[in-house]
Structures are given as C-alpha cells and as structure tokens.
C-alpha cells in the first residue's frame, strides 16, 4: 500500500478507519503528512501513544468514515487497509471518500474478499454472537470488483489488484492467543461470552486454524482486493 501510493514530503494523506495506526506510521515515516481517522476512541488512543513512542508527528481524530470531519478536497491521497469495509453505510463511505480527496487525488482501499479465510472467520463468529441487524450489507462486498465499481466508479477511474497475505503461527493455540489478546472482533466476542461460551469459541477457533496446517506451522493465506482509484 505504501509503495503503491508513493508518499512524498508534505503530501496530505488520510488513513481512513485507521485502527491502531500501522499504515499511518509507515506513511509518515516515508515522508507524508498523515491524518488518521477511526470511529473507535480506544483504537485512536492506542495509535496516538504508539506514534509518540516512535517519534512520529501524526494527527489522529475520532470520527466516522460515513461523515468525515474534513473539508472538500482536503487530501491528496486516501487509503484504508481493511477498515472502511466495516462501516455500515457503504454508499455514505463512498461519497465521503470522493468528497475529501482532491481532483486527480488517489485512493487505495484494501478489503478481504468474500471467499477469503477472514470471511470464513466472520461466519464462525456469527455462530457465537447475536444476529446482525437485518438489511446490513456484508463488509466483504468491498472485496468484489463489481461492487466496488458500482460504489466508486462514478467519481474515480478505478483499477483492481488481487493479492494475498500469509499469516503464520506454530499452532492453533498460539493463533488463538494472538487474536484473542489483540484489539479486534475476536477479543470483543470472547469478552461477551460466559466461561462455557469462551471455551467453545476457543476450541472452534483452534480446530479451524489447525485445518490450515502445513507441516510444522499453520499458514493462513488471506485473499484481499486492492481497489485503486484516481479522482475525476
């Protein structure tokens, strides 16, 4: 993502739905002037502390990707790694992306595909959590080229790239330990369950992870779509 968007000194860049800021850190270290935006105040606080510890000057705001607190054409570049896809109103996000990027500005959005192992995980989560409200689109729709073109194609010239990233772990237990202790949907889901539910979720996760074992390690090959755009 960083190489694709070629950070330059004083380039105004937004990391939308930035989470704990990992992409923002890399963009700032490469010379861009970076703002990070996320709906979750706890994640923004984590990002601010981590940026300060690294000596990086990054503005992090608490805000909604569906209604961004920025002026029209505020950024030369907007990126999101597996963030904007989880907003509820996809059309509103698409409108905001088109509004706050400059004419001829660039977009880069990474989203897990509908057939990815990450989508499999969310189907697993659905067996343990409350049902989602009716009528909500799937976040994994963003990982489909046709859907992305429908949302973003009127405002930007688009291209698409398919990639995968491999997550490796020695065992299903260590894979569970990593994700259940880090900020994210698994930790939140586990915290919402009673002791029996958490034990069942842990057992199910470990069995799922071990199904991807290759010799001495688990290799989770996660497919994603990179949507690239240039604003008309």
CATH number of the structural domain spanning residue 100: 3.40.50.150
pLDDT of 217 strictly over 90: yes
Band of the pLDDT at 134, cuts 50, 70, 90? confident
Q: Find out whether 90 and 66 touch, Cβ atoms under 8 Å.
A: no
Higher local confidence (pLDDT), 3 or 206: 206
Band of the pLDDT at 140, cuts 50, 70, 90? very high
Q: Find out whether 13 and 102 touch, Cβ atoms under 8 Å.
A: no
Q: Which residues contact 70 (CB under 8 A, 6 or more apart)?
A: 14, 35, 100
Residue 118 forms part of a structural domain: no
126 CA to centre of own chain: 19
- The mean per-residue pLDDT over the stretch 120-125 comes to 93
Residue 83 forms part of a structural domain: yes
Residue 76 forms part of a structural domain: yes
Higher local confidence (pLDDT), 49 or 4: 49
pTM above 0.75, yes or no: yes
Taking only the tens place, the pLDDT of each residue in 145-171 is: 999 999 999 999 999 999 999 999 999
Residue 52 forms part of a structural domain: yes
pLDDT at position 32 is 92
pLDDT of 137 strictly over 80: yes
Range of the domain at 32: 2-111+134-165+224-231
pLDDT of 132 strictly over 90: no
Q: Find out whether 221 and 164 touch, Cβ atoms under 8 Å.
A: yes
Residue 107 forms part of a structural domain: yes
Residue 74 forms part of a structural domain: yes
Distance (Å, rounded) from C-alpha 129 to C-alpha 162?
30
Distance (Å, rounded) from C-alpha 97 to C-alpha 107?
8
Taking only the tens place, the pLDDT of each residue in 70-119 is: 999 999 999 999 999 999 999 999 999 999 999 999 999 999 999 999 99
Q: Find out whether 63 and 37 touch, Cβ atoms under 8 Å.
A: yes
Task: Give the β-pairing of 12-16 and 156-169.
Answer: unpaired
Distance (Å, rounded) from C-alpha 80 to C-alpha 230?
15
Higher local confidence (pLDDT), 199 or 10: 199
pLDDT at position 130 is 85
In three-state secondary structure terms, 167 is strand
* Average pLDDT of every residue of the chain: 95
pLDDT at position 36 is 98
Distance (Å, rounded) from C-alpha 196 to C-alpha 178?
20
Tell the burial category of 103 from Cβ atoms under 10 Å away from its Cβ (0-12, 13-18, 19+): exposed
Instruction: Please tell me the total count of domains within the chain.
Output: 1
pLDDT at position 5 is 87
Residue 197 forms part of a structural domain: no
Residue 217 forms part of a structural domain: no
Of 159, 155, 70, 67, residue with least CA distance to 108: 159
């Amino acid at each position: 993502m960083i190489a694709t968007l070629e950070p330059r000194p004083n380039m105004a860049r937004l990391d939308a739905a930035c989470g704990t800021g990992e992409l923002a850190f890399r963009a700032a270290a490469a010379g861009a002037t970076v703002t990070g935006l996320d709906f979750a105040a706890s994640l923004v606080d984590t990002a601010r502390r981590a940026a300060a510890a690294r000596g990086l000057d990054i503005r992090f705001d608490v805000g909604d990707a569906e209604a961004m607190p920025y002026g029209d054409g505020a950024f030369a570049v907007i990126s999101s790694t597996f963030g904007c896809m989880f907003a509820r109103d996809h059309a509103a996000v698409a409108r905001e992306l088109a509004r706050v990027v400059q004419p001829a500005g660039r977009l880069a959005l990474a989203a897990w595909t509908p057939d990815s192992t990450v989508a499999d995980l969310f189907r697993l989560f659905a067996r343990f959590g409350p049902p989602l409200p009716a009528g909500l689109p799937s976040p994994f729709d963003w990982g489909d080229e046709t859907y992305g073109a429908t949302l973003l194609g009127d405002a930007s010239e688009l291209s698409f790239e398919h990639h995968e990233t491999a997550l490796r772990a020695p065992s299903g237990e260590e894979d569970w330990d990593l994700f259940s202790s880090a900020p994210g949907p698994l930790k939140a889901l586990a915290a919402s369950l009673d002791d029996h539910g958490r034990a069942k979720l842990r057992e199910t996760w470990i069995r799922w992870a071990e199904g991807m074992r290759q010799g001495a390690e688990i290799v989770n090959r996660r497919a994603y779509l990179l949507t690239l755009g240039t604003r008309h």
